[in-house]
């Protein structure tokens, strides 16, 4: 966007928690020239100073006329648009951070924001996960970037409906080729952050579950998981290649299918219907439970670590 500074003010739309990080990054990359040649902005002329960046913090704050960059949260944008403090001609340049937050075209946030984004001359959408579930979540974002993606119903029929009653993904290779050749620039972390991020480190911390009821429940589910001897993986891999569980069963060997159905029935959570959906939900529920039972232990350890750090610094300050 710095190439189009003559068309600013620039709006940066981001999650509330990232607003001040955007302010810091704008100053880092577009701020005063640094004589240190190792600095990424060393060879760039300063485009902004701190006073040129306005981070909106509440719905009573109006946009300053002298602001070159305005950073605003999604929730606050809807409020300012409703008040008509932001209109379709307020910003010609917009960056949308975590643009997948606009995935639901029926949500008020999306419904309010899209006209402003579409009206801008230059809009950049940033997301590491543009669609979580299916291509339907891409449409609101694509509609911002090009008039080609203006017919929602045609888009759904082409890319979202597996059948007349099942919403999912269809013609995905075509969609990927079309999007990547027109509006999407994909960058992998390995390509752009290899020299920035440190190597990932992993530590294993063994915890003891003190809640007896939760421990018995967890142990029971783990026993069921061990009894499957990898059969759940077979089910998951086979399902990826089939349109439905019924098609999976019809195409399989009778003995194998009976074995896998017995496995799934065995691990189905109690007090639930023994349908396929509840059977498959076993693993997510097991993951959820393993997280919940560790919360008290992890909280206790974290508090201990924080107290240790605090006391060490306090002692050093007191000694100084």
Q: What is the pLDDT of the chain when averaged over all its residues?
A: 77
The pLDDT of residue 262: 55
Closest C-alpha among 292, 304, 287 to residue 209? 292
Domain contains 143: yes
In a domain, 83, yes or no: yes
Q: What letters, b where the CB count within 10 A reaches 16 and e where it falls short, cover 85-124?
A: ebeeebbbbbbbbbbbbbbeeeeeebebbbebbebbeebe
Look up the CATH number of the domain holding residue 93.
3.40.50.300
Last residue of a domain, which of 163, 198, 233?
Answer: 198
Domain final position from 81, 97, 130:
130
Question: pLDDT tens digit string along 200-226?
Answer: 788 887 778 878 888 888 887 777 777
One domain for residues 125 and 6: yes
* Residue 205: inside a domain: no
Q: Which helix (H) or strand (E) holds 140?
A: helix 139-145
Indicate whether 206 belongs to any domain: no
What mean pLDDT is predicted for residues 43-49? Answer: 76
Looking at beta carbons, which pairs linking 70-73 to residues 24 or more positions away fall under 8 Å? 70/9, 70/10, 70/11, 70/12, 71/12, 71/14, 71/19, 71/20, 71/22, 71/23, 71/26, 72/11, 72/12, 72/13, 72/14, 72/19, 73/13, 73/14, 73/15, 73/16, 73/19
**Residue 199 carries which DSSP code?**
P
Cα dihedral 9, 14, 17, 23 sign: negative
Spell out the residues 6+ positions from residue 41 whose beta carbon is closer than 8 angstroms to its own: 28, 29, 30, 31, 33, 34
Same domain, 109 and 147: no
Are residues 176 and 221 both part of a single domain? no
Residue 35 lies in a domain: yes
159 and 254 inside one domain: no
- Please answer whether residues 8 and 68 qualify as being in contact, where contact means their C-beta atoms are separated by less than 8 angstroms: yes
Which residue's entry shows tokens 């026993």? 223
307 and 238 within one domain: yes
Q: Is pLDDT at 263 greater than 80 in this prediction? A: no
On whether residue 228 sits in a domain, the answer given is yes
Give the domain range for residue 101: 1-130
More confident residue, 240 or 48: 48
Give the whole-angstrom CA distance, residue 153 versus residue 139.
Answer: 10
Whether 90 and 118 share a structural domain: yes
pLDDT over threshold 50, residue 134: yes
In a domain? residue 207: no
Confidence of residue 250 (pLDDT cuts 50, 70, 90): low
> How far is the C-alpha of 156 from the C-alpha of 135, rounded, in Å?
8
Is 27 in the same domain as 44? yes
Q: Are residues 20 and 110 both part of a single domain?
A: yes
Output phi, psi for 221, to 5 deg.
Answer: -65, -40
Residues 227 and 302 in one domain: yes
pLDDT at 243: 46
Please indicate, yes or no, whether residues 8 and 106 belong to a single structural domain of this protein. Answer: yes
Q: Domain boundary residue among 152, 168, 198?
A: 198
Neighbours of 141 (CB within 10 A): 27
In angstroms, the Cα distances linking 96 to 61, 122, 130, 167, 303 are: 20, 11, 12, 27, 36
Number of domain units in the chain: 3
Residue 124, pLDDT above cutoff 90: yes
Kindly state the average pLDDT of the residues 165-187. 81
State the Cα–Cα distance between residues 255 and 302, nearest whole angstrom: 50
Say if residue 144 is in the same domain as residue 114: no
| 181 and 236 housed in the same domain | no
Quote the pTM value.
0.61
User: Residue 22: inside a domain, yes or no?
Assistant: yes
């Amino acid at each position: 966007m710095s190439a189009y500074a003559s068309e600013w003010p620039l709006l940066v739309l981001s999650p509330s928690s990232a607003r001040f990080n955007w302010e810091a990054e704008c100053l880092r990359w577009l701020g005063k020239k640094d004589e240190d040649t190792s600095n990424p902005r060393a060879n760039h002329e300063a485009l902004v100073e701190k006073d040129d960046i306005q981070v909106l913090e509440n719905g009573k704050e109006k946009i300053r006329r002298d602001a070159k960059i305005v950073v605003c949260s999604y929730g606050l944008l809807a409020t300012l648009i409703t008040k008509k403090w932001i209109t379709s001609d307020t910003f010609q340049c917009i960056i949308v951070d975590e643009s997948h937050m606009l995935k639901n075209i029926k949500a008020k946030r999306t419904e309010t924001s899209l006209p402003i984004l579409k009206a801008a001359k230059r809009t950049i959408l940033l997301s590491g996960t543009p669609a979580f579930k299916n291509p339907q979540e891409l449409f609101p974002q694509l509609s911002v970037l090009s008039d080609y993606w203006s017919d929602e119903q045609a888009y759904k029929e082409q890319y979202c409906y597996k059948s007349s009653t099942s919403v999912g993904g269809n013609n995905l290779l075509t969609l990927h080729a079309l999007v990547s050749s027109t509006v999407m620039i994909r960058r992998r972390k390995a390509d752009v952050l290899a020299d920035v991020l440190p190597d990932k480190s992993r530590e294993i911390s063994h915890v003891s579950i003190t809640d007896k009821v939760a421990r018995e429940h967890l142990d029971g589910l783990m026993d069921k998981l061990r009894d499957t001897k990898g059969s759940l993986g077979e089910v998951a891999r086979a399902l990826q290649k089939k349109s439905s569980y019924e098609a999976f069963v019809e195409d399989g060997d009778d003995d194998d299918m009976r074995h896998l159905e017995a496995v799934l029935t065995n691990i189905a959570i109690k007090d639930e219907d023994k349908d396929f959906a509840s059977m498959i939900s076993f693993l997510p529920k097991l993951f959820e439970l393993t997280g919940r039972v560790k919360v008290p232990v992890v909280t206790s350890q974290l508090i201990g670590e924080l107290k240790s750090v605090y006391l060490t610094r306090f002692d050093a300050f007191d000694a100084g």
